């Protein structure tokens, strides 16, 4: 793997500055102490964190009940995520936070809204009462399909307050994708908005919901936030305006005392088959994991203004825009729109405007800004920044250095955080006041996280070496299952190695024990930090009447990390050409969403297959990235297919 080569030539290291370490929530001494405890006795470590960082109504009887691959954390304990994110900041010694900004929100057109902890609490209670009034009970699923507006956070916290698991569907998904997710979770109620703003224009959401609801008999109610004011159709008896139902809802709603293992949310993510997986997270363990990692890794202080640029529709938004920050009593910034609207320096002007001190974003965004030049960030006062983070994909050392130099002005530590929808919270990351960083490495597993590297046979790679990234001991934020599919849960994550979590990523460990994540090794592509299964795109393509067969692979892309290339074998009746290319790209966007739109479509009469009929993706990947076809082709069924594929290059 050429990537490993280049990363391992990376010799630069950055020690935490004494000034940063002195003020850090976790300094070297604490971190080492926790590391030792976590290595020897992970359950004791996490129990300590749970006691220190989370409020419980009833203590647990047992920290961990592990019947592989099913884990229960904090057995018998009762707590509430919404209570931990809100109520505990309004009482006792924290009561001064009542009027502290909980959410600073900025809309794309430039409008803004600041919600204090007391205000947010009132809004959440009101919406929780609205949900109850519409018949939503503990355990009922609520689907949230919304733009990045404060009402999304309010709805999440209201759901968690009454124990109704939410399923957030990213606003960029199509009606098809939305309907599938609503049906899989059997959601009873959908919260949406008329639309939102992106790239300077209003986009519609309610119309997409209307189309999806044609196929979802389980939905009884939709609640619609008025955001853009664009006209929408309303079905009486089913559709309600948010502002109308909120108007006379009571601001009092006690937080339900929920079992630590009560479902908190479902979040759909791509896997190696065409069907997205509903990743299930529960209450007490997840809360402990995100609260602890947020405090340690983002070094949060009451004075900080923290901004994570992720959309709440992804796990990063769940854990580190909403739950982790709020349970720590932090001020979290939410921005509605695109990074480059109205000008390419919007993000830097937001940092300057709100005095953001901690900034967490994705490598793909960093690479985009590198291309736009140093002048834009240099024109802004970014002196409020004190800590930077990245997530979602491997960061190439040069992008890391740019981030360090141009955004962090060489003062700010960078935490490169590796984790997944399935892990709930960060698993591998530097602790900024304690751990020396290396550009391109996520550094070391968080205390209490037993990450390791296995070879194909399931033997742990000792010392320096590469292989499959695994976790050998359960952790509190781990997924508890795939919604409605125990078998798939077992096979996907626990089927490769005995009692060991298989992450689907390749990784390398250097002499110092640092982890260098190499990216996905299965049929999942990482496009701008978003996971998209090759099978999902293939299923979308073959659902077109023009396509007989399709194979989808990723090829390296400078900005998005990976770009989607689709090899399509058209039906005899189809007319391959630029028109069909356009049509198919649009078709995929319609079936899944714009994030899955192929960058390139190549037509071919046949796909290269093994004798047993399996598509040879390795070959297609080589062709897609313009590499010489390497490796063993002895099982290839039809050699001439290869030559024809290369000629099919789209112009
Ligand atoms: C990738 C996002 C390298 C990885 C939180 C993982 C990373 C997938 C990093 C999960 C990182 C995430 N370095 N790769 N710091 N963080 N990944 O579920 O391939 O959207 O398996 O969760 O993103 O993506 P997901």
pLDDT digits (tens, 9 = 90+) for 366-403: 999 999 999 999 999 999 999 999 999 999 999 999 99
Cα of 451 vs centre of ligand 1, distance in Å, is 14
Q: Write out the DSSP string of 111-123.
A: -EEEEEHHHHHHH
Tens digit of pLDDT for each residue in 125-163?
A: 999 999 999 999 999 999 999 999 999 999 999 999 999
- Which band of pLDDT confidence, cut at 50, 70 and 90, is reported for residue 477? very high
**Residue 346 C-alpha to ligand 1 middle, in angstroms?**
25
Share the mean pLDDT of the chain: 94
pLDDT tens-digit profile of 487-535? Answer: 999 999 999 999 999 999 999 999 999 999 998 998 899 999 899 999 9
Give the pLDDT of residue 650: 45
Tens digits of residue pLDDT in 395-443: 999 999 999 999 999 999 999 999 999 999 999 999 999 999 999 999 9
- Check the CA dihedral 61-62-68-72 and report its sign: positive
- From 271, 293, 392, the mutation candidate for ligand 1 (largest count of ligand atoms within 8 A of CB) is 392
Q: Residue range 178-202: average pLDDT?
A: 97
pLDDT for the residue numbered 320 = 98
Yes or no: say if 205 and 239 are a contact pair by the CB < 8 Å rule: no
- Using the atom order of ligand 1, give the atom closest to the CA of residue 269: 18
**Helices 175-185, 578-591: crossing angle, 10 deg rounding:** 30
Distance of CA 497 to the CA centre of its chain: 25
What does the pLDDT average to over 532-561?
A: 92
Contact yes or no for 325/306 (Cβ under 8 A): yes
Residue 562, strand partner residues:
556
Q: Looking at residue 647, what is its pLDDT?
A: 67
Q: Which of 266, 517, 524 to mutate to test the pocket of ligand 1 (most atoms within 8 A of CB)?
A: 517
Question: Mean of the pLDDT values across residues 548-569?
Answer: 93
Question: What confidence tens digit (pLDDT) does each residue in 270-298 have?
Answer: 988 888 899 999 999 999 999 999 999 99
| H helix or E strand, kind and range, residue 73 | strand 70-75
pLDDT per residue as tens digits for the range 321-342: 999 999 999 999 999 999 999 9
Nearest protein Cα to ligand 1, atom 15: 418
Whether the predicted pLDDT of 251 surpasses 60: yes
Q: What is the pLDDT of residues 200-229, one digit of tens each?
A: 999 999 999 999 999 999 999 999 999 999
Confidence of residue 635 (pLDDT cuts 50, 70, 90): low
481: left (phi over 0), alpha (psi -120 to 50) or beta: left
Q: What is the arrangement of strands in the sheet containing 358-361, beginning at the earlier edge strand?
A: 112-116, 101-106, 331-335, 305-308, 358-361, 387-391, 414-417
Lowest-confidence region among 66-80, 179-193, 341-355, 601-615:
601-615
Given a cut of 50, is residue 311 above it in pLDDT?
Answer: yes
**Alpha carbon distances (Å) from 361 to 11, 28, 419, 516:** 24, 25, 14, 19
pLDDT of residue 290: 98
Structure tokens at 56: 């419980």
Q: Is the pLDDT of residue 302 over 50?
A: yes
If we measure between CA atoms, which residue out of 41, 67, 474, 62 comes closest to residue 286?
A: 474
What pLDDT shows up at residue 523? 87
What are residue 14's DSSP bridge partners? Answer: 437
Locate 339 and state its tokens.
Answer: 């990074």
Show Cβ contacts of residue 602 under 8 Å, excluding neighbours closer than 6 positions. 565, 566, 567, 568, 645, 648, 649, 650
Strands 387-391 and 414-417: parallel
Domains of the chain: 1-80+283-518 (3.40.50.12780), 524-647 (3.30.300.30)
Q: Which residues line ligand 1 (CB under 6 A)?
A: 269, 314-316, 391-394, 416-421, 442, 503-505, 517, 519-520, 526, 531
72 C-alpha to ligand 1 centroid (Å): 24
Among the atoms of ligand 1, which is closest to the Cα of residue 316? Answer: 5
pTM above 0.85, yes or no: yes
Distance 269 CA to ligand 1 centre (A): 12
521 CA from centroid of ligand 1 (Å) = 12
Q: State in Å: Cα 383 to ligand 1 middle.
A: 29
Closest residue CA from atom 6 of ligand 1? 420
State pLDDT tens for residues 564-619.
Answer: 999 999 999 999 999 999 999 999 999 999 999 999 999 988 888 877 778 888 88
Minimal-distance CA residue to ligand 1 atom 23 = 392
Cα(81) to ligand 1 centroid in Å equals 25
Alpha carbon distance, N-terminus to C-terminus of the chain: 29
User: Distance between CA 419 and CA 415 in Å, rounded?
Assistant: 12
- What was the pLDDT predicted at 651? 38
Contact at 8 Å (CB) between 306 and 332? yes
| Average of per-residue pLDDT across 175-197 | 97
| Nearest atom, ligand 1, residue 319 CA | 5
246 touches 130 (CB < 8 A): yes
Atom of ligand 1 nearest to the CA of 394: 3
Residue 231 has pLDDT above 90, yes or no: yes
The answer to whether residue 1 scores a pLDDT higher than 50 is no
d(CA 334, CA 102): 10
Backbone angles phi, psi at 189, to 5 degrees: -140, 145
Q: Which of 391, 442, 443, 518 to mutate to test the pocket of ligand 1 (most atoms within 8 A of CB)?
A: 391
Distance 103 CA to ligand 1 centre (A): 26
Helix axes 578-591, 534-542, angle to 10 degrees: 120
pLDDT class of 632 with cuts at 50, 70, 90: low
Ligand 1 mean position to 299 CA, how many Å? Answer: 21
Query: Does 76 have pLDDT greater than 90?
Result: yes
The helix or strand, by DSSP H or E, that contains position 358, with its residue range, turns out to be strand 358-361
Say if CB 118 and CB 96 are below 8 A apart. Answer: no
For residues 546-552, average pLDDT: 93
Question: Residue 481: which H helix or E strand, with range?
Answer: strand 481-482
């Amino acid at each position: 793997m050429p990537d490993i080569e280049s990363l391992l030539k990376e010799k630069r290291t950055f020690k935490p500055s004494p000034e940063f370490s002195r003020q850090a929530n976790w300094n070297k001494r604490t971190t080492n102490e926790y590391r030792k405890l976590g290595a020897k006795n992970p359950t004791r470590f996490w129990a300590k964190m749970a006691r220190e960082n989370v409020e419980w109504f009833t203590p647990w009887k047992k920290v961990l009940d592990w019947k592989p691959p099913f884990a229960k954390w904090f057995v018998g304990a009762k707590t509430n995520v919404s209570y931990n994110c809100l109520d505990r900041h309004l009482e006792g010694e924290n009561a001064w936070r009542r009027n502290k900004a909980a959410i600073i929100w900025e809309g794309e057109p430039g409008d803004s809204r600041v919600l204090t902890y007391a205000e947010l609490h009132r809004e959440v209670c009101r919406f929780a009462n609205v949900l109850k009034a519409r018949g939503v009970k503990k355990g009922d699923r609520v689907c949230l399909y919304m733009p990045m507006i404060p009402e999304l956070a309010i709805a999440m916290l209201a759901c968690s307050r009454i124990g109704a698991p939410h399923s957030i569907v990213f606003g960029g998904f199509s009606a098809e994708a939305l309907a599938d997710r609503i049906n899989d979770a059997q959601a009873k109620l959908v919260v949406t908005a008329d639309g939102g703003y992106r790239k300077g224009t209003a986009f519609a959401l309610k119309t997409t919901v209307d189309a999806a609801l044609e196929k979802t008999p389980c939905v009884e109610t939709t609640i619609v936030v008025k955001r853009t004011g664009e006209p929408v159709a309303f079905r009486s008896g089913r559709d309600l305006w948010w502002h109308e139902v909120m108007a006379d809802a009571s601001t009092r709603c006690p937080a339900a005392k929920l079992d630590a293992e009560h479902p908190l949310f479902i979040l759909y993510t791509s896997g190696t088959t065409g069907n997205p997986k509903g990743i299930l997270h529960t209450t007490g363990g997840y809360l402990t994991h995100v609260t602890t990692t947020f405090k340690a890794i983002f070094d949060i202080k009451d004075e900080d203004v923290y901004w994570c640029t992720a959309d709440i529709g992804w796990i990063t938004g769940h854990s580190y825009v909403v739950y982790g920050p709020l349970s720590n009593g932090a001020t979290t910034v939410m921005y509605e729109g695109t990074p480059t609207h109205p000008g390419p320096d919007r993000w830097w002007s937001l940092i300057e405007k709100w005095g953001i001190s901690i900034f967490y974003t994705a490598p793909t965004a960093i690479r985009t800004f590198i291309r736009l030049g140093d002048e834009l960030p240099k024109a802004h006062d970014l002196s409020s920044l004190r800590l930077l983070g990245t997530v979602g994909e491997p960061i190439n050392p040069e992008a890391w250095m740019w981030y360090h130099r141009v955004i962090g002005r060489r003062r700010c530590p960078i935490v490169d955080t590796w984790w997944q929808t399935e892990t709930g919270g960060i698993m591998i990351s530097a602790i900024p006041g304690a751990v020396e960083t290396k550009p391109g490495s996520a550094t070391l597993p968080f205390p209490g996280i037993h990450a390791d590297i296995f070879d194909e046979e399931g033997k742990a790679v000792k010392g320096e070496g590469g292989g499959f990234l695994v976790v050998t001991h359960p952790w509190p934020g781990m997924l508890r299952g795939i919604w409605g599919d125990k078998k798939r849960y077992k096979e996907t994550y626990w089927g490769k190695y005995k009692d060991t979590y298989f992450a689907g990523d390749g990784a390398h460990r250097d002499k110092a024990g640092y982890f260098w994540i190499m990216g996905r090794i299965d049929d999942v592509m990482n496009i701008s930090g978003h996971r998209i299964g090759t099978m999902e795109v293939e299923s979308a393509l073959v659902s077109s009447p023009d396509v007989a067969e399709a194979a989808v692979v990723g090829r390296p892309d400078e900005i998005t990390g990976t770009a989607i290339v689709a090899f399509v074998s058209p039906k005899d009746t189809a007319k391959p050409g630029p028109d069909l290319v356009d049509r198919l790209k649009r078709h995929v966007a319609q079936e899944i969403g714009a994030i899955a739109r192929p960058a390139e479509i190549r037509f071919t009469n046949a796909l290269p297959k093994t004798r047993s009929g399996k598509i040879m993706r390795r070959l297609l990947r080589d062709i897609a990235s313009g590499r010489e076809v390497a490796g063993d082709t002895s099982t290839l069924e039809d050699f001439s297919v290869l030559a024809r594929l290369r000629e099919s290059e789209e112009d």
